Structure 1
Amino acid sequence: MENKWVRAAIPALLIHVSIGSVYCWSVYKQLIADEFNTSAATVEWGFSLAIFFLGMSAAFLGPLVEKDIKRSSLVALFCFTLGFALTGLSISTHFLLGIYLSFGVLMGIGLGVGYLTPVKNLMLWFSGNKGLATGIAVAGFGLAKVIATPAMEILIPKVGLVNMFYILACFYAGMMFLAFVLIKRPKGYVYSAKKSAVKRFDLMKRKEFLPIWFMFYLNITCGLALISQEKDFLKIVLHEKGFTEASIIGVIATVMAVDAAFNTGGRLFFSSVSDRFKFRETSYKILFSMSIFACGAYLIMHMISPYELWSIFMLLFLVNAGYGGGFSTLPVLLDQHYGMSTISTVHGLVLSAWAFAGLSGNQLSSFIVHKLHLSYNTVVMVILALYMVSFGLITYVKGLKQREV
């Protein structure tokens, strides 16, 4: 059936909802640590490596996706699901290095290739609404945590941690295989080796590349710096407000669910809104303005009335929305500057920023709070400054595009 929903949207969701489950790491991180009788920090490298190899595989394997999405979807299926299953095997055999290699390296490669695979295809099929199309796919990546978390929490008590990995590996393999069967370029599209054979270094030499790379890197770093600490931050705030332990657990669970909704909604909203603007940078300027406002309003409100809950919730929700929106708007921004012929390659190169931000974001807030012994307000001050830098970078990139026009 030659239909854009069947050939592009559904396969994109099947792939991204599968690979996006990597963000469920917090569900079983401590359980893995307990199996190895070690600290959560020791096994944390499994997740860090997964995000690092996501970015690196996207950077290096973009040309594969550009050339053959059928092959790249199979590579993603094989690496992600085998890595997921081998994680269970590594736990059962108490092979800690296996966690790093299977969840970190192998799954990470599947993540990077899988993340890229449906993006250009969606933009080709939905040529009139490219932002909406990429928003749908990337929203699936954000929505995966909402879907998979309760499933994992049901499976683990019933079948055990190891079997949970085996069962979900088979389930994700089925979903991604269906995506492989369905995904297809639109009729009339012809891959041009000549047009796609631009050297990576030539793409990176363009004036807009580094500003876009650093803007994307800073948005992820800011998001992770706050999101990675929000549980501890909320516990402190709710204790200050006199909440009981039972009610604190309930409030945090509710906030996390709303966070996920804003993250997913931001992915759809900012990318689809960008379709209305002549310059895609405008969507990013709105995104960063919103994040700057949220940080500034929180800091001002904290001086007037410390730990006012509405200002904290607003901060978390809006930063989550901007974090998600930064991912979904990136492909159409790159299309505007580089064109469709090399979009998978240049998108992969910029996604390398995700690899480094995945390491620096968590560490930034941890360093401020645990090493320097400063408050979470200092974290907000730092990310406020970084958002302002990001706003300046995207303004510079927009100026380059305007001069071209």
Structure 2
Amino acid sequence: MATVKQSSGNRWTSAIIPALLIHIPIGTVYCWSVFKQLIADQLHVNASAVEWGFSLAIFFLGMSAAFAGPMVEKDIKKSALVSMICFVVGFAGTGVSIALGFLPGVFICYGAIMGVGLGVGYLTPVKNLMLWFADNKGLATGVAVAGFGLSKALASPVMEWLIGAVGLVNMFYVLAAVYVVMMFVGFLLIQRPAGWTYDPVASHVSRASILKKPVFWGIWIAFYINITCGLALISQEKDILHDVLQSLPQYASLDAADFAAAIAGVIGLVLAVDSVFNTAGRVGFSALSDHLKRRESVYQVIFVMSIAVCVLQTVTGSIDNALLWAVLAMLFLVNAGYGGGFSTLPVLLDQHFGTKTVSTTHGLTLSAWAFAGLSGNQLASFVVTHAPDQSHRYAALIPVLTVLFVVALASITAVKVAGKRS
């Protein structure tokens, strides 16, 4: 492979800006909760019946990324175009399916077609950023991937306003038009650094050979658990806050209507701050990895931090305000670690498998996201449903997450030890 010329003149227009133009639209997949109930109401089904739309989107995201790696390695323009077409068609098609009252169409469009656009689009800018910012790979990927995490905070209020102004179906059409413009500009701008050429021999790596390496599975397990725990907690955020606030003296005496009105703003503020922590984690943890000898150390920090805040929440018990602050710390910091796990992954894989094949190894590892998308919400739902104390049902989830984070810490520590020996 030819030596990459590190030209700083076009790094923003050729790497960072197009990465954000691709990642911000596809990151709106996390806005599902904004319109999930509205879809159910319009199709006259239970909310649980439409939930598979989101689960399938995450599943197809991970699995398409697992298979798209070689295409991204070979032709970044093609992968950017495929991402744009699949994402926009799937997003607009969701609106068409709702208008027709066709629930399977939501699964096909939002879940399968849009999911493929998500996976290919998520993977497309990563290696490009690592080539353009060879000295600060973690920071570069963190800034771009932050667009994916920040998208929910940016798009949710816009979606709510559009739904009120033009209706649910037209919201999908309007945003599809906006996103096609953004992603098309990203497609036009994105390019490899001068001097880089695709070498099929150097860039080829057998998926089977990667899957045979214990180090890959150590990283995969740690990444899978981090996403599973993150999704399990995120899916219960509103219920957790509802239960905690309800236990506080200042809210305990309110009737149901007054209580709902009083806490609506609090919950909204917490969820907004959550998004900030998620975004900060994506940038901060990946940037931190640039200054550490071993990238695994960042994951160790994330898991130790997550274990600590889960234990803190558990030991505070029902000590009113102390419990509230412990819960907030848990939500904010686990969200930060959740985001940081995504942004640090490419540079961790680069450390073990090299930049030449990082699109392939990154794609394979993102298959963990697919399975976590199916298991995270379901794990939380199962534990909460079977909790012995339904008045504080969320509390049963925290010890389970703590144990899983311990397993993740052990897995990434084993990867770090193996890396030092090699």
Assess same fold via TM > 0.5.
yes
User: How does 1:132-281 map onto structure 2 within 5 Å?
Assistant: 132-241=139-248, 242-243=250-251, 244-281=259-296
Task: State whether structure 2 residue 327 is matched by structure 1 residue 327.
Answer: no
The answer as to 2:17 corresponding to 1:10 is: yes
* Partners of 1:298 and 1:315 within 8 A in 2: yes
Name 1:382's counterpart in structure 2. Answer: 400
Contact 1:126 1:133 in 2 (8 A): yes
1:402 aligns with 2:417: no
Q: Note the residue ranges of structure 1 that are not aligned, 5 or more in a row.
A: none
Query: Normalized against structure 2, the TM-score is what?
Result: 0.94
Partner of 2:38: 31
Alignment of 1:350 with 2:368, yes or no, is no
Residue identity opposite 1:230 in structure 2: E
Following the alignment from structure 1 to structure 2, what is the Cα–Cα distance between the partners of residues 165 and 307?
A: 42
Which amino acid counterpart does residue 368 of structure 2 have in structure 1? A
Matches within 5 A, 1:50-89: 50-89=57-96
Cα RMSD, aligned residues only: 1.3
Partner in structure 1 of residue 110 of structure 2: 103
Structure 2 residue identity aligned to 1:338? F
What's the CA shift for 1:373? 4.4
What SS is found at the alignment partner of 1:276? coil
Q: 2-side partners of 1:247 and 1:253: how far apart?
A: 11
Identity of matched residues, %: 59
What's the CA shift for 1:2? 5.1
Question: In 1, Cα distance between the equivalents of 2:189 and 2:204?
Answer: 27
Task: Report the counterpart of residue 4 of structure 2 in structure 1.
Answer: none
- Work out the CA distance in 2 between the residues paired with 1:303 and 1:360: 29
TM-score, scaled relative to structure 1: 0.98
Q: Is the 8 A contact 2:42 2:101 kept in 1?
A: yes
Q: Is the 8 A contact 1:237 1:307 kept in 2?
A: no
Deviation (angstroms), 1:346:
0.6
1:19 partnered with 2:18: no
Instruction: Specify the code of the residue in structure 2 equivalent to 1:98.
Output: G
Moved more, 55-64 or 298-307: 298-307
> Is the 8 Å Cα contact of residues 239 and 394 (structure 2) preserved in structure 1?
no
Paired positions, count: 404
Is the deviation greater in 373-382 or in 202-211?
373-382
Deviation at 1:306, TM superposition (A): 8.3
**Displacement of 1:282 after TM fit?**
0.8
Kept after mapping to 1: 8 A contact 2:247/2:320: no
- Structure-2 separation of matches of 1:220 and 1:6: 31
Return the offset for 1:371: 3.4
* Structure 2 unaligned spans of 5+: 1-7, 252-258
Does the 8 A contact of 1:273 with 1:283 survive in 2?
Answer: yes
User: Is residue 2:410 matched to residue 1:392?
Assistant: yes
- Aligned residue type for 2:48: A
| SS of alignment partner, residue 366 of structure 2 | helix
Deviation, 1:304, is: 5.5
Out of 298, 322, 331, which is 1:283 matched to? 298
In the aligned structure 1, how far is the partner of 2:380 from the partner of 2:12? 41
Letter of the aligned partner of 1:253 in structure 2? G
Bigger mean CA offset, 324-333 vs 374-383: 374-383
Measure, in 2, the Cα distance between the counterparts of 1:55 and 1:370.
28
Residue 132 of structure 1 and its aligned partner are, at CA, apart by: 0.2
Q: 1:209-257 CA distances to partner (integer Å, 9 max, x unpaired)?
A: 1111010000001111111001011111111214222121111001000
